Structure 1
Amino acid sequence: MKNIKYIVTVMMSFALGLTSCESDLEENPAGNISIANFYSSEDDAIAGLYGVYNSVYSLYGNTAINYGEVNADNATVSPNVSDLFEWDEFTYSNELTEGFWRSAYDGINLANEVALYTAEIEFDEEKRADIVSEAKALRALFYWHLVRTMGGVPIYETPTIGFDAVDTPRASADEVYALILRDLTEASLELPNTSTAGRLNAHIADALLARIYLYRSDFPNALAHAKKVIDSGAYNLFEDYAHIFKTEHNNGIEHIYQIQYLSGERNNPIPGGFGPRALPGQYGNSFWANTVVGGSIAPSAEFSAQNPISYRRSVTIADSYEHIDGVTGTITMEEAFGPGVYPYYVSKFDDRANELQSGVNFNVIRYADILLIAAEASNEVDPGAAEKYTWINKVRERARNGVEANLPDLAGLSQDDFRTAVLDERRFELAFEGQRAWDLKRRGEFLTTMRAQGKTVEDYKLLFPIPNNQVRLNPNLTQNEGW
C-alpha cells in the first residue's frame, strides 16, 4: 500500500507541477529550464515516467466506460439522468473526442520525452533500458486507444516542441499498429516479470499483446501471448467473483494490470457512475450512504434478460439494496422507482462504505480475460483443441460459484457455436469494464447488434470523429468519412 500511495501522490504532484508552471512558460520561456536539461539522473527519469502514468488516467475511468460500454448493448442511460444520452443514442458531435485526443497526445509526448532523454543519462544500463522500454510501452497504450477509436492517426516518435510537426498527416491504421506491436514486443522481452503495482512489466506487455492481436484477428499471436501469461503461473482467478472489484483485494492474484486509485487522494469515478440515483424524497439520496451519486448508467433490458442465472449475475446486477439508514431494510427498485422504470442497477462496483471516495482500482486487463482470449484464439487456430474448453469452463465454473446456475460446462460445440459462446462469455464476465463495444466491433457485429436494440447507427459511426479543432489546426489531417 505504501508503494501504491507513493506512486499516486507522485503522479498528482507531477501533474500539478506542470499546471502551476504553465503561465510561467507562456510569459518567459527563455527563463525556464528546458525539458532536456531536466533529465540528468535516474530519479529524473523515473519522475518523468510517473508523469506519463499520470496521463494514463485519462484513458480509463469514465472514458473507458463511455467508449466501451455506454454506446454498446450492455448499458443504457439511467432514467433519472440524461447526461450521457448522446452516447447511448449515437447523437454525439464531432467535437466529442477533443479531450480524449489531447490527453492521448499529451501522454505520447511525455513518453517520447522520457524515452529520448533517459537514453542520454549515465546510470545503470539495465535500469536505463527498462525505463526507456516502459515509456515506449506506455506510448503504445496511448496509440492503441487512438487507433481503435479513430483509425489511423499521426505518429510521433520524438517529442514535439511548440508548433513543431503540427502538419503531420495521418498514418494508416496498419502503420500505427506496427508501432504499437513493436513497442509492446520490446517491453515483453526487456522488462522484468514483476513490477511495483501500477507499473508495466513483461507479463502485462504480453497480456496487452494478446488482446491487441485478438482485436486484429491475428489468432496465432493472440494465443501465443495469452499462453505466455497463463504458463507463467503468476496469475489465477479469485475464488469469489465479487473480490475482483473490492478495494481490499486491489492488485490481487487475478489483476494483471490495474489503474491505481487511493480513497480520499485520487478517487475512482466508476462507482459513482453506476447504482440507483434516487429521485428527490425517495428513500434518501442513494444506496451510497447520504451521498448523491452520478448514477448515469443502468444495465439494458437486453443485458438483464440475457445474462444467465449465476452467482456472477447476482454480483453484477441487482433489483434491490439495503437502505443505508439501517432501519428501512431492503428496498426494491420497483418500490423506489415504480414498476418497470428502473428494474436493475449495476452492483458489481458497489463501494458504499467509502461514499464515492472510492479507492478500488480500475481493471485494464485481468486473468479471466486472458483465459477467454486463449479460448477464442485456440478455437480459430485449431477448432479441435481441448484446451479451449478448459479455459472457458474455468471462467464459467467460477461464475457458478457453487450455486444453482444456468451456466453448464461447454463441450462438443462446432467452431461457429464456440465463437458465439466465447463472445457471450466475455459479455457477461467483463460486463461494464470497458470491453463490450470493442468486442462487437472486432467481430463485425456492432451495427447489427445496436440496430436490433432500436438504435439509429450509421455505418460510419464504427469510428469516432477526429476532433474538428485538430482538423482546423492541421491542414494535412483528414476527417473520418461521414463526420
Structure 2
Amino acid sequence: MMKRLFIISWITLLFISCGDDFLTKFPDDAVVTENAITTIAETQTAVNGLYALMASQYYYAASLYFYGEVKGDDMQCLYISGRTPYTMYTFDQSTQSTGNGGLWGRPWYTIRNASNIIQAIDNNKITDAQSDPDQLNDYKGQAIAIRALAHFDLLRTHGYPYAKDQGASWGVPILDHAISLTEQPIRNTVAECYDFIIKQLKQAIPLLSSEKNNGQINAYAAQALLARVYLYREQNKEAFETARDLITELEKNRQYYLAPRNNYAAQFALNNKFGSESLFEIAFSASDNPGRDGLAYSMHWWGYADIVATKDFVDLMAEDPDDIRCQLLDQVYNGQEIEQNIRYWLMKYPGTSYGVPSVENNYMVFRLSEVYLIAAEAGLKAGGEYRSPALSYLNDIVSRANPDKSVSDAEFTLDRVLKERRKELVGEGHRYFDALRNNQTIIRKGGWHLDGIPEEINWDYTKCILPIPKEQFQMNPNMQQNPGYSRE
C-alpha cells in the first residue's frame, strides 16, 4: 500500500488550500521550492505528497468521479442537496459558484509540486543521487506522469473534446516548470496540450519501474494513461498499438490480468484492494481516508445515498440477466417496499456489510479492463488490419461477462463498444467523457431523474465544460474564458 510520509515541516510545503485561484496567487509558505528537496528520502516524501494531493475530495477521492458520472446518463443524484454531486448533476456551474468541485485548483497544486520535484532532480539538487539512481529515476518518472495526468484532467474538464474542432479551441495553460509569482500563463490550444501530455508520458515511461507498486504509478499505469490520451486525441492507431503492446506484455508476465468471471464482483470488495486488474488506484486506509467526503460514502445506501444508477442503466443491464456485472447492482428501497420506490446501489465501493458504508475504499484510476476497451474502440476507428484484433479484445470483455455472448463483426460498431464501456466501467468516472468526446447526446429524461435538470447534453451545450474561475482574471487579464461564461 502507498506509504505517505507526513512530516510536520513538510505539511506547509506540500499542502495548499483547495480554492481555485492557484494560477494567480498563492502564499509563499505554500510553495515547494527545488531547494527543499535535497536527498532521495526527501524526494520520496515529496512524491508521496503528490499522491496525497490527488487523494483529496476535490480531486480523485470524489470530485472527478462525480463529474464523470452524474453529468452522464448512467448515474444520477437521488435527491436535492447543496453537495457537489448535486451541483454537478444539475450543471450548476459558473465562474462564481462552487459547483466546479475544486477541479481547477487541486490539479494545479499537484502540477506545481511535481514540477519542483522534477526541477530538483534535473538541477542536481539531490546530494545522494548516486546511491540509488534507479530509484531516483523512478521518482522523477512518477512526478512527470502525475504532472501529465493532472494536465489531462484539467484539459478534459475545462477544454472541448479534441474531435469537436481538431483541437483548435482553448485548452489549459501548459506548465512544464514551477511557475513563479510573476508569471501570468495563458491557455494553450487543446491540440498543444495533448502534444505536451503525450511527450511527457513518453519521457516518463522509460524512467518508471515496471514493478507493482500499490497506490503509485508504475510504467504499466503510465502506458495505460498514454493509450487513453491517444484515444481522446483521436490518434486511434497509436491508442490501439499502445493498448495492444501493454496487454501483450502483461499476458506474458501475468503481473496483472483480467479478473475471471467467478471472481468478477469480488474484485471490488473492500478487502480486495490492489487486485489483478489494478494498474493504479488511489489508496486509503482506516486511519487515512477522506471520511464522509469520499465517493464511497455518497454511493452507499447507508451513507449519503447521493448517487444511484439511473433507470436507463438498470434497463440496459436487464437486457442480459446472466451478465456477471448485474451482480454489482443491488436493489434497495426508498421508503416503502413497493415497485415505484425501488432504486439500485452500485456495489463497486461497498462497505464491510450491506448496512455499513466504508470511508476507506480505494478508487480505481486505471484498470486493465479499460485497456482492452481502449484497444477495441481505437482499433474499430482505425479500421483495416486493426479491426479484427480490436473485436477480439472487445469479446474478451463481453465473453467474460457472459460466456454465451459474443459480438460478431457485423455487430462491431462504435455504439456497441460504448455500450460495453458503460456496462464495464460504470461508476469509475468515464461515461460523461466517453459520450462527450464521441459527440453523442446524453439523454436524461423520465425514469428517476429529478425535475429541472438539463435533459440533453452534447458538446454544443454551453455548460458541457467547466468555466475558468473568476479569480484567474483578476491578476491575469489575458487568460481566456470558455464560450458562454462571463469573466465575473
Task: Give the TM-score band, short-chain normalised.
Answer: 0.7 to 0.9
Query: Which residue is 2:322 aligned to?
Result: 310
Alignment pair present for 1:272 and 2:297: yes
Q: Which moved more, 1:366-375 or 1:193-202?
A: 193-202
Structure 1 segment 293-308 matched on structure 2, within 5 A: 293-307=303-317, 308=319
8 Å contact kept, 2:63–2:102: no
Query: Which residue is 1:428 aligned to?
Result: 423
Structure number with larger C-alpha Rg: 1
Tell me which amino acid in the other structure corresponds to 2:249: S
Query: Which residue is 2:396 aligned to?
Result: 394
Query: Which residue is 1:468 aligned to?
Result: 470
Alignment pair present for 1:413 and 2:410: yes
Partner residue of 1:40 out of 24, 38, 41: 38
Partner residue of 2:432 out of 416, 419, 437: 437
- The structural deviation recorded for 1:216 is 1.2
Query: Which residue is 2:162 aligned to?
Result: none
Alignment pair present for 1:150 and 2:158: yes
Tell me which amino acid in the other structure corresponds to 1:442: R
Query: Which residue is 1:459 aligned to?
Result: 461
Query: Which residue is 2:142 aligned to?
Result: 134
Q: 1:51 to 1:82 in 2, by over 3 A?
A: closer
Tell me which amino acid in the other structure corresponds to 1:382: G
Structure 1 segment 163-182 matched on structure 2, within 5 A: 163-165=181-183, 167-182=184-199
- TM-score, normalised by the number of residues in structure 1: 0.82
Deviations 1:391-419 (A, max 9, x none): 1222122223x7xxxx72111325xx421
- The structural deviation recorded for 1:174 is 1.5
Structure 1 segment 10-409 matched on structure 2, within 5 A: 10=5, 16-18=11-13, 35-58=33-56, 59-79=59-79, 83=83, 84-94=85-95, 95=97, 96-97=99-100, 99-119=102-122, 120=124, 121-122=126-127, 123-124=129-130, 125-151=133-159, 152-161=171-180, 163-165=181-183, 167-233=184-250, 234-239=255-260, 240-267=263-290, 269-276=294-301, 286=302, 293-307=303-317, 308=319, 309-320=321-332, 333=333, 336=336, 338-353=338-353, 355-382=356-383, 385-400=387-402, 408-409=405-406
Q: 1:39 to 1:349 in 2, by over 3 A?
A: closer
Determine the C-alpha separation between the residues in 1 that align with 2:380 and 2:192: 28
Determine the C-alpha separation between the residues in 1 that align with 2:186 and 2:73: 34
Q: 1:343 to 1:197 in 2, by over 3 A?
A: closer
- The structural deviation recorded for 1:47 is 1.2
Q: Which moved more, 1:214-223 or 1:195-204?
A: 195-204
Give the root-mean-square deviation of aligned CA atoms: 3.0
Deviations 1:34-66 (A, max 9, x none): 833322211111111111121122321211222
- The structural deviation recorded for 1:456 is 5.3
Q: Secondary structure at the match of 2:340?
A: coil
Q: Secondary structure at the match of 1:157?
A: coil
Determine the C-alpha separation between the residues in 1 that align with 2:345 and 2:37: 49
- The structural deviation recorded for 1:380 is 2.1
Q: Secondary structure at the match of 2:468?
A: coil
Tell me which amino acid in the other structure corresponds to 2:366: I
Q: 1:230 to 1:468 in 2, by over 3 A?
A: same
Tell me which amino acid in the other structure corresponds to 2:264: Y
Unaligned runs of 5+ in 2: 18-24, 160-170
- TM-score, normalised by the number of residues in structure 2: 0.81
Bigger proportion of residues as helix: 1
Q: 1:21 to 1:225 in 2, by over 3 A?
A: closer
Determine the C-alpha separation between the residues in 1 that align with 2:366 and 2:74: 19
Determine the C-alpha separation between the residues in 2 that align with 1:395 and 1:90: 33
Q: Secondary structure at the match of 1:470?
A: helix
Determine the C-alpha separation between the residues in 1 that align with 2:307 and 2:336: 17
Determine the C-alpha separation between the residues in 1 that align with 2:10 and 2:281: 20
Q: Which moved more, 1:195-204 or 1:348-357?
A: 348-357
Query: Which residue is 2:20 aligned to?
Result: none
Q: Secondary structure at the match of 1:200?
A: coil
Query: Which residue is 2:164 aligned to?
Result: none
> How many matched pairs?
436
- The structural deviation recorded for 1:449 is 3.6
- The structural deviation recorded for 1:351 is 1.2
8 Å contact kept, 1:81–1:295: no
Q: 1:15 to 1:342 in 2, by over 3 A?
A: farther
Determine the C-alpha separation between the residues in 2 that align with 1:11 and 1:246: 28
Q: 1:439 to 1:235 in 2, by over 3 A?
A: same
8 Å contact kept, 1:219–1:381: yes
